[in-house]
Structure 1
Amino acid sequence: IKMVDRVSGRPLHIDISDLPMKKGITTNRNKFILGPSGSGKSFFTNHMVRQYYEQGAHVLLVDTGNSYLGLSQLIHNRTHGEDGIYFTYTNENPIAFNPFYVEDGVFDIEKKESIKTLILTLWKRDDEAPKRSEEVALSNAVSTYIERITGDRSVTPCFNTFYEFVRDDYRRQLEQKNVREKDFDIDNFLNVLEPYYKGGEYDYLLNSDKELDLLHKRFIVFELDNIKDHKILFPITTIIIMEAFINKMRKLKGIRKLILIEEAWKAIASANMADYIRYLYKTVRKYFGEAIVVTQEIEDIISSPIVKESIINNSDCKILLDQRKYLNKFDSIQNLLGLTDKERSQILSINMANHPGRKYKEVFFSLGGTQSAVYATEVSLEEYYTFTTEESEKMELFALAEKLGGNLELAIKRLAESKRNPQSSTT
């Protein structure tokens, strides 16, 4: 990716994915990005994913703040609607899927595991760990149901028929085996999952007859701001998206794929999700993928063992932005990320001696805990207006694009020109 030398201002290309793996500095391509609000975090991630996209990668972003709207719309316009797909979760247009649908009819171990995790997440609360006997019973239910749908084409694979199978056939099997209620309370299971069954409040979520076709789109954004405080919809929708990404990874061989999860990682940082996250990271490595988690909430990370064990420990590239807001908590950050004293001083030097004549923000990169450096994100005015997350600037840009008949690219060029040359008009 293109960065800039912090001292000379000279443009540089740096490789934070492939070369470090070739040299044995890192063992995966995953990245963990930490920067408080206002540090230029979203701006940098826009700059980074744009370059991934231009180099042929498939990019999937899960966001909760419209940070990628400008870039996505620009790609959408340039590809005449073929790419730059922007899904916003609304009540009228929820993100729905069918966890039991597989194109080729083959349910491998990973697919079964992900179905089990999804149902477990629906059934148990974050703080409620399932008993071993419950996990076994659920695993058996999923496996037996899959045998049924693969052997009997008249059964439509979806959550509705799974629910009916558990309610009727599987109940009989448990009775025959004398499985006790304390080992697996089937009535409680059915009661808790009833809202996802036909006629229930969320019956649309897991019974979709349309598949999320993400396979051939290279730049996709899921905007989940509307449900980020919803205890049920937020985690399920995030799992649905991750599941769609995993399906995409398996099918696109030899092509780089990346999933970038902004604050939505909070939706999946529960004890029941730990195995699923580990499974995602393991699968990503196997299929030439990258998982990138971006956050500004240092408290959430420090207090979450799931994040430390499943996300940070599996991300060999750490990227930090200006940490001055967290100075009094920096010891915790240093311990959590396993930073050396040299890396600490590099991080605390960020933006401390910036050139007054240039507009840029600095970024710290650490690879495998052995190589680290600070570079600058310095871009053209055109790129600046594409990536900006400043509300007033975004509004100015989109209002101008509307005046120009929806031509965002022309609006970006006009706006950049008017800032370079204040005498020129943007109209």
Structure 2
Amino acid sequence: MQFTRRKLTGLVAGAALSASCVVPFAHAADDTIKIGVLHSLSGTMAISETTLKDVMLMLIDEQNKKGGILGKQLEAVVVDPASDWPLFAEKARELITGNDVDVVFGCWTSVSRKSVLPVFEELNSILFYPVQYEGEESQRNVFYTGAAPNQQAIPAVDYLMEEEEVERWVLAGTDYVYPRTTNKILEAYLKSKGVAEEDIMINYTPFGHSDWQTIVSDIKTFGSAGKKTAVVSTINGDANVPFYKELGNQGIKASDIPVVAFSVGEEELAGLDTAPLVGHLAAWNYFQSVENDVNAEFIETWKARMGDERVTNDPMEAHYIGFNMWVKAVEAAGTTDADAVIDALPGIETPNLTGGTSTMLPNHHITKPVLIGEIQADGQFEVVSETDDLVPGDAWSDYLPESAPLKSDWVDLKCGNFNTETNACLGGAS
């Protein structure tokens, strides 16, 4: 890792739509291309997902100003799965079969993504998934533009070990597949680095958890053993608000027990008093504070549309990358047909907002830089660590014995879970 500092630039998401809502222009004519937007606009995940709906509408409008695609205008179809994981599958099916969309951009939690996987496979449609996730998956119909564990979780732990000299670890997460699998990988990784089992504390809480007093007290006690302690947080959604408030209430400062979060970005901080959180960290692949011309143009367009108070964040950049890759793939294929676009996407390159160029890989993940940001009083992040090069997303973890031999390659191997030891595709729900 190359450690740098960058100057900072200087919400809550818009009003939720109802579960059956479609944007006013969703009833598209036959000569338009429909794009599904599948994000929670109500419920516990609305704090994070509503802004992703907003950025998709912006990207679609901006593309239409350029003339659309293949001579056709784009139409957004927005539905609200309302933080209800089974409802994601129902809404995905509605978008594909009822609204005849050509592609869907959506989901945040891994449980929502896994809920829709069978639908996209059955109906042979395309999903762009924009959020960091636990890996251990590669599906032909899904393109993962958020970070895999080797593009976020592992580099964050490395930073804390090398720069903060952390020896004790609290792995705190929301109780669902992403935190549990990520923490399984991190526990194996920490032990491979010589961390003793008694120096790892793991805790899970439900979605929307609000009473953090006892848990934060336990973290404080765990951190009082004379070894530098850090919290690696996979807490998701609006539970982050009371969690960080309780850290402040109990006087836990970043200099004492730093927290590095994987699901807290600029949007989530917009609803918090950030003064007690200064110095805590987040690991992402993009921050609004990154300075370059492409990001400056993106921020300007966003704020002109949404208002100066609205911030940008990492999953928004993932949608920016994914949308532009899909546009290029459709133009290259000359059609929105799913099979043709799926085949065209690997190898597609497009600028990211961090100043580089991201590439879609044969495993349907992308190359991304890894950044560690430090929370500032204004709710922005100062970048304190950045990888020298873009990191290729790895679908399968090297630190889990059952995953280490697996390889995903939808170009040559036509398989999401090819076992390199047995030279066989495991098939099934990869």
The TM-score bracket by the shorter chain reads 0.3 to 0.5
> Normalized against structure 2, the TM-score is what?
0.38
Q: Between the two structures, name the one with larger relative contact order (CA 8 Å, sep ≥ 6).
A: 1
Greater radius of gyration (CA): 1
Which of the two has greater helix per residue? 1
> Normalized against structure 1, the TM-score is what?
0.38
